[in-house]
Structure 1
């Protein structure tokens, strides 16, 4: 029986073709459903392992109860011992194929598009497949039914069912990821489904998440988001609900609310902020590997242009000799930076000063990171005018400029809504996240990005693939940072 089981494992993991974009089974070579079923049956005979709890500190293992067939007893006991011995810390990270298959079986749920398109071909810019998808979306009888608040309110009545059926990965998948937890904020004001799908794809049980609910959202939408958070022990609703208005202080206020909500959880290494219409371009394994090689550096954009008209209404110069810098409000920053934002008196004075200005969210984080005399660990100590900061790798965004049209989707308020023809450039770039999607426009773009990233997550896990971080480790963010 031992030889039989090992032969099945070898056949499944090494002998069959790789992922071709059609199904998860083909990612790992599970082309023959009979083989997958047989392997599943063999494991079911030998072991019973409990579901991972939604609590990040609770992993339950059930005791194996041998059958009356004494010929299987030794194999049953051997595998049970193997599994128990492989559990490190709260989760197991054994690298053998047996253990990996068990984790996969307990966590994998198909997140495949329902439109019959080959997503791998689309992200690789296959013109025939892109044309097929666009023709499908143009057809008069084609419509995509979005998930409603009623759906979410019903399914979250049973949290185990919600986590299981929606495909939340309830295992860190690697020791590197487990040892490097991240904190995410999501600011949302619309589209519950898009927000939930973003959360699902970036979710891991050892990370920490804050969702800021705009106070203008309907009571039904707010209740839905709270129910979703209640089903995930490491997802929190921001302590304050702000009426966010673009260009005013409220956007920064909402972000700081999530920082305050997540600050008490001491384990996370980096804080990343997202909007509800954004989506990752890299897996959690990739994001962790990239941030680790930055060695604590804060990733904060700085523009070469400072818009003086945004500050001219202020009645005094910026406090504490702060030189103003303009950049994106989207950041990846260490705990020292967040601590400074929330608690240092110089930061609080600067926030008060910014209330007099326009678009302060594009001034606050950049100014803190590019004034090294403030002493924030990981801040930039080089010359922002000459060092390599022009490629801001946190976001893929296509902006509208006069006479230039790089968007194959459509522009709304100067930002490209990503379509299927934009996916190739976004997916194969260096950026970690993409802005932005709209489920009412070329939804196959989002469906395919989600499918390919989810499948890639499992390919990385099952094959324990390394992440190429050579580009990121050479950036001046990492080389020219303040070490305290």
Structure 2
């Protein structure tokens, strides 16, 4: 009897090893590609085409287990667990002394480093890449019917560091949403290849096929957003009926779960949320009062090229529109973007007019939003916005424990507390190669809220309720009132 039992055990062990080997082999073959898309999946665009079917997750059977795998916070790959760690509780307290003591230890991933070449190799095994960055099924968020009925489209601009891009994408990712990444045309080939290969592990993440060489304050910055927006608009509603589009930069990070974002967007009642101002200074007026052109070369004292003002006066905007100032990152309805970028002659005219202005991404959207026939638009603007929390350096009383870049604080561990409770849905700016504390601890807060009921959370991390826009946010003049 004992001999038969041992023989059976050996047989079972051999069977398990054989099945495991087959699953690993299957996993290497299961990476979806453009040339051989899996049936029923959202098909990635080939050059010159964009064909889509309903998005579904293409997960090899070997990934069906371990859906709640927790990450070890001491590992440099750990960007979130299902609870808020002791180290993150210290960081979220904002106590600079305690954080300083924590920095002396090696129990926290202060730098999260992964080069683009390594990511290309990692993406050869989609299970490894998904696990590394905690995409599903290695992070199993509870997705409600409310979320499934309200898909979101994301546009992400980036020019380097695919590691950072994937950290952001993994935080906002849901299987029923859709995500477009625009890689700057001047990015390295390694960066482009890494993002392209990583995107092939997902049926609802793709790289924009048309790319802009982005120059600061130039129309190329606006066009980069538009490249992704147009490709997302080509996705038929039968495949992904996204309601709003949120445009982000790779160094942004969410402060809300997907459900909390959905509930905030629903409070907008079908209106765009485009923060901006009607009253602008003479300094801002110069952006469109004169013609701006790119120099032949970047100034020696500047690290980047940007437009310079000429003495030539610019023509007035089309359709008697009023120049205003908006924020570059907002929430846009699908109907508004289709109208502004595809259907409207006004949109085409304003975009052409904006080509030789300064930073047109900071006036185009609000000018279109205020046009009387704009879907989801309004003639009003009062600075109300929930898109991004930014710690600006214009006040002498503001400290920054990361570093200042373009008068914006790159969040350090000692700064995380001040942005963790922000009412804005996204925070800028994080750099995980400088200090990964922000994304690490923010991801833990989000993971906890997305998986653990309120009553079971040991930390003070209650669900975030939507901010209710003021009544004037919803006012809209009649079309008969004429153009602004």
TM-score by length of 1: 0.71
1:308-323 to structure 2, matched below 5 A, reads 308-314=285-291, 315-323=314-322
Rounded Cα–Cα distance in structure 1 between residues aligned with 2:275 and 2:393: 19
Cα deviation for residue 106 of structure 1 reads 5.2
Rounded Cα–Cα distance in structure 2 between residues aligned with 1:247 and 1:468: 34
Rounded Cα–Cα distance in structure 2 between residues aligned with 1:56 and 1:296: 34
Evaluate the alpha carbon distance shift between residue 143 and residue 206 of structure 1 in structure 2; reply closer, same or farther with a 3 A threshold.
closer
Could you tell me which residue of structure 1 aligns to residue 369 of structure 2?
369
Rounded Cα–Cα distance in structure 2 between residues aligned with 1:422 and 1:446: 12
Could you tell me which residue of structure 1 aligns to residue 406 of structure 2?
413
Cα deviation for residue 460 of structure 1 reads 5.1
Could you tell me which residue of structure 1 aligns to residue 254 of structure 2?
280
Evaluate the alpha carbon distance shift between residue 468 and residue 280 of structure 1 in structure 2; reply closer, same or farther with a 3 A threshold.
closer
5+ long unaligned stretches in structure 2: 1-26, 33-37, 42-53, 57-62, 76-84, 292-313, 480-484
Asked if the contact 2:87–2:102 (Cα under 8 Å) also holds between the matched residues in 1, the reply is no
CA RMSD of aligned residues (A): 3.5
- 1:262 aligned onto 2:255: no
Rounded Cα–Cα distance in structure 1 between residues aligned with 2:157 and 2:374: 25
Asked if the contact 2:288–2:357 (Cα under 8 Å) also holds between the matched residues in 1, the reply is yes
Q: Which of 154, 158, 169 in structure 1 is aligned with 2:136?
A: 169
Cα deviation for residue 476 of structure 1 reads 4.2
5+ long unaligned stretches in structure 1: 1-50, 59-88, 92-102
Q: Secondary structure at the match of 2:222?
A: helix
Asked if the contact 1:294–1:477 (Cα under 8 Å) also holds between the matched residues in 2, the reply is no
- 1:379 aligned onto 2:374: no
Rounded Cα–Cα distance in structure 1 between residues aligned with 2:438 and 2:96: 14
Cα deviation for residue 392 of structure 1 reads 2.4
Cα deviation for residue 402 of structure 1 reads 5.2
1:381-427 CA-to-partner distances (Å, cap 9, x unmatched) read: 44x3xxxx435221110112153424343211211111112211211
Cα deviation for residue 161 of structure 1 reads 3.7
Rounded Cα–Cα distance in structure 1 between residues aligned with 2:454 and 2:356: 49
Cα deviation for residue 90 of structure 1 reads 9.9
- Count of aligned positions: 384
Q: Which of 280, 287, 291 in structure 2 is aligned with 1:305?
A: 280
1:195-234 to structure 2, matched below 5 A, reads 195-234=165-204
Structure that is richer in helix per residue = 1
Rounded Cα–Cα distance in structure 1 between residues aligned with 2:464 and 2:453: 12
Could you tell me which residue of structure 1 aligns to residue 156 of structure 2?
186
1:334-373 CA-to-partner distances (Å, cap 9, x unmatched) read: 01111122111110000000012111111111211133x2
Asked if the contact 2:449–2:463 (Cα under 8 Å) also holds between the matched residues in 1, the reply is no
* 4+ aligned runs moved over 6 Å, structure 1: 53-58, 461-466
Evaluate the alpha carbon distance shift between residue 296 and residue 57 of structure 1 in structure 2; reply closer, same or farther with a 3 A threshold.
farther
Asked if the contact 1:174–1:461 (Cα under 8 Å) also holds between the matched residues in 2, the reply is no
Asked if the contact 1:153–1:227 (Cα under 8 Å) also holds between the matched residues in 2, the reply is yes
TM-score by length of 2: 0.71
Q: Secondary structure at the match of 1:118?
A: helix
Cα deviation for residue 271 of structure 1 reads 0.3
Cα deviation for residue 249 of structure 1 reads 0.6
Could you tell me which residue of structure 2 aligns to residue 81 of structure 1?
none
Cα deviation for residue 453 of structure 1 reads 2.0
